[in-house]
Structure 1
């Protein structure tokens, strides 16, 4: 009887852990206004390379890389050299104007959730 109760508790605990981890890893909602303002979709798509890598490729490449989020936020705010192919990240003035640190963080959090 004790084993049966422990088994039930273990199954319940595992179910809660699985549900929690899936929620934590769930894709964030697209910050559509920022994506449109910065013209992200001119070069990127969600899941296939276009003029630049897809958001999924970026997330896969940088997931687990120390300081990747800070580096990507900086690149988004300042532009930067090409890491894929020949196309560099355009300067903010060429994409829709300056981007605040908070807005860059919001966009990179969304990309990294892909």
Structure 2
């Protein structure tokens, strides 16, 4: 009986962590100005986060590739419009970029 209760509590904590991660990622995207060009579901100036996640799903090194792309910026991956380094937000930290990329890939 005790192990059953422990398992239920562990699942509850895990689900709460996943929900918090999702909320934190969206809030970070809003705060950082990412949603000026991107959205979760539909393309804007840049691709939707769901499209990015689908394109990179299952690719080895996807997280590192996207961290580099967000950090340095670039063009040609999703059309002619270039993405500025750090999305144009010079104050975006490496930790924030890592958290954003993890969140985007979880879409």
TM-score (norm 2): 0.72
Give the aligned CA root-mean-square deviation in angstroms: 2.8
Aligned position for 2:92: 99
Runs (4+) off by over 6 Å = 24-27
- Residue 81 of structure 2 aligns with which residue? 87
Unaligned residue ranges in structure 2 (runs of 5+): 1-7
Q: Tell me, which stretches of 5 or more residues in structure 1 are unaligned?
A: 1-15
The aligned runs of 1:4-43 (5 Å cut-off) are 28-43=22-37
CA distance in 1, matches of 2:89, 2:34: 9
Pick the structure with more helix per residue.
2
| Larger Rg belongs to | 1
Residues 81, 89 of structure 1: 8 Å contact kept: yes
Give, in whole Å, the separation in 2 of the partners of 1:83 and 1:30: 26
Normalising by structure 1, what TM-score?
Answer: 0.68
